[in-house]
Amino acid sequence: MKPTTTPKTYRVKSFGCQMNVYDGERMAELLAEKGIMPAPDGEDADLVVLNTCHIREKAAEKVYSDIGRLTKGKTQAKAPMIAVTGCVAQAEGEEIMARAPAVSMVVGPQAYHRLPEMLDKAVAGERSTDTDMPPIAKFDALPARRKIGPTAFLTVQEGCDKFCTYCVVPYTRGAEISRPFNDLLTEALKLVEAGAREITLLGQNVSAWSGEDEKGHRVGLAGLIRALAPIDGLERIRYTTSHPADMDDALIAAHGEVDKLMPYLHLPVQSGNDRVLKTMNRSHTAESYLRLLERFRAARPDIALSGDFIVGFPGETEAEFEDTLKIVDAVGYAHAFSFKYSPRPGTPAATMDGQVPKEIMDERLQRLQSALGRHQFAFNQDSVGKTCGVLVERKGKLPGQWLGKSPWLQSVWFESDAKIGDLVEVELLEAGPNSLAGRPLAPALT
């Protein structure tokens, strides 16, 4: 690779989960510190960061096709500098370097604070890879937050020790770590100062967060939420993603007692069949999962439930799949993500007997999604007539129209003279499958 000039503009393309979105924002902040600016919409960037996801096959393929698109027919001088970051970088760093000569930097999710120095090397004509995994070092090395939108992510926990047999996360993101309480309090205050009114606490297994509060007491996620709630100007707290094994009484109680904690719980179940759950190495059964949800509902009766599902896990029979449809009906999810099983190299399930043919997976996914869609629509219809706060996130399609989120994370649009970041009291008037229309009741709480 030849030496080149320092890029003037960048674009960060994040795939996959919300943690990747957070990481992408932080990398953008690092680049901005180096004087590199975001490329204007519609214009090519001098540096493209492909912040990848490895959780399912297509995402990795997409990275290679993106690299191809960025470099097609271009000499090195004309093509953008490319950095591949995120979980594909962690899992396939060497392969990317070998397969894609146009890539100058491969940076794992725990090493992206080193992006600026790797960029200097790339400018000098040297390709480099860093997939080390000292997670706290990364957070300490990142610049101060400069978020300006009304909603912000805050990574509080990373990594996962659960080792579900289908999942690459324990390999790509490493072991569970919790960021220290004080660091999180400081970052949350900075985010609110910079305009955030809603903070979503992020972690691959966020409910496993633990730390020491100001008095030196060991606290879990509920303790952190209670410590953040008094921050002036912070109106809403959310968290994601949780594992049923780490949901404790304190967190359930917080849902009933902390007003700023939104009535929404994303709790993946993956399957409704106990044999499949066991082979997945999930530590819950369908029954224990349902009992857990009952406890959340007792604490917060209007709580909206969301989940993740996998169809076609190796060995899944038709009857076992139908148990998943049953749990969907039993819970009545407000929202959900559902996926076809995708064998991930190096995970135990990838070599299990009974891999399910693609056509069967397609058919099961379609049935599951139509059931989930019905429940989502029903949940939205049940919300009609309610009055709630809507945090305005962006303009709608028509003039005077605004779009924001209800406490239950539904998209709500309405007409008013509000502005982004307002929390507007809205009556929900009409439900669609994916959003609701509302009418503002009072002037915005600005």
Beta-bridge partners for 10: 38, 47
370 SS3 class: helix
Taking the complex as a whole, the smallest distance from the CB of residue 167 to ligand SF4 amounts, in Å, to 3
Q: Which phi and psi angles does 310 have, rounded to 5°?
A: -120, 130
Residue nearer to ligand SF4 on the CB measure, 71 or 270: 270
Q: Which is nearer to ligand 5AD, 166 or 333 (CB)?
A: 166
Under the binding rule (CB under 6 A), the answer on residue 26 touching ligand SF4 is no
Interaction of residue 160 with ligand SF4, rule CB under 6 A: yes
- Which string of DSSP letters, residue by residue, matches 36-89? PEEPPTTS--SEEEEEE--SSHHHHHHHHHHHHHHHTT--TTTSPEEEEEEHHH
14 is an interface residue for ligand 5AD by CB under 6 A? no
User: Rounded to an integer, what distance in angstroms lies between the CA atom of residue 85 and that of residue 80?
Assistant: 15
Residue 341 interacts with ligand 5AD (CB under 6 A): yes or no: yes
Tell me if 284 contacts ligand SF4 by CB under 6 A: no
Contact status: 83 vs ligand SF4 (CB under 6 A): no
If binding is defined by CB under 6 A, does position 280 make contact with ligand 5AD? no
Position among 205, 270, 306, 376 found at the interface with ligand 5AD (CB under 6 A): 270
Our finding on whether 377 is near ligand 5AD (CB under 6 A) is no
Q: How far is the CB of 24 from ligand SF4 (least distance, A)?
A: 19
Q: Which does 55 bind (CB under 5 to 8 A by kind): ligand SF4, ligand 5AD, none?
A: ligand 5AD
162 vs 326 by CB, closer to ligand 5AD: 162
| Element counts in the chain: helices (H) and strands (E) | 13, 21
From 166-174, 215-223, 352-360, 428-436, span contacting ligand SF4 (CB under 6 A): 166-174
Annotate each residue in 236-255 with x if it binds ligand SF4 (CB under 6 A) or - if it does not, as one string: -------x------------
What is the rounded distance in angstroms from the CA atom of residue 150 to the CA atom of residue 234? 10
Interface with ligand SF4 includes 8 (CB under 6 A)?
no
Which long-range contacts link 283-288 to residues 24+ away (Cβ below 8 Å)? 283/162, 283/244, 283/245, 284/244, 284/245, 286/323, 286/327, 288/244
Is position 328 an interface residue for ligand SF4 (rule: CB under 6 A)? no
Q: How many residues does the chain have?
A: 446
Binding residues among 55-94 for ligand 5AD as defined by CB under 6 A: 55-56
Tokens at 246, concatenated = 């780490």
Could you tell me the smallest distance in angstroms from the CB atom of residue 421 to ligand SF4?
32
- Smallest distance from ligand SF4 to CB 245, Å: 8
Which is it for the CA torsion 306, 235, 182, 108, positive or negative?
Answer: positive
162 binds ligand SF4 (CB under 6 A): yes
Handedness of CA 211, 224, 110, 169 (dihedral sign): positive
Residue with tokens 């300006």, as numbered in its chain: 148
The partner in contact with residue 342, picked from ligand SF4, ligand 5AD, none with C-beta cut-offs of 5 to 8 angstroms by kind, is: ligand 5AD
> Which residue number, 149 or 343, has a Cβ lying nearer to ligand 5AD?
343
**207 is a contact residue toward ligand 5AD (CB under 6 A):** no
With b for 16 or more beta-carbon neighbours within 10 A and e for fewer, the 308-342 pattern comes to ebbbbbbebeeebbebbbebbeebebbbbebbbbb
Read off the tokens for 360: 């069967």
Q: Which of 418, 427, 407 is nearest to 445 (CA)?
A: 418
Binding residue count for ligand SF4, defined by CB under 6 A: 10
Q: Does 12 bind ligand SF4 (CB under 6 A)?
A: no
Query: Beta-carbon neighbour count of residue 140 at 10 Å?
Result: 11
Element spanning 351, H or E:
none
The one segment of 71-79, 107-115, 170-178, 339-347 that binds ligand 5AD by CB under 6 A: 339-347
Parallel, antiparallel or unpaired: strands 264-266 and 304-311: parallel
Residues 6+ apart with CB under 8 A from 371: 325, 328, 329
341 binds, among ligand 5AD, ligand SF4, none (CB under 5 to 8 A by kind): ligand 5AD
Q: List the single partner that 205 binds among ligand 5AD, ligand SF4, none, CB under 5 to 8 Å by kind.
A: ligand SF4
Contact set for ligand SF4, span 167-196 (CB under 6 A): 167, 169-170
Instruction: Summarize as ranges the residues that interact with ligand 5AD (CB under 6 A).
Output: 55-56, 166-167, 268, 270, 308, 310, 339, 341-342, 344
Instruction: Summarize as ranges the residues that interact with ligand SF4 (CB under 6 A).
Output: 160, 162-164, 167, 169-170, 204-205, 243
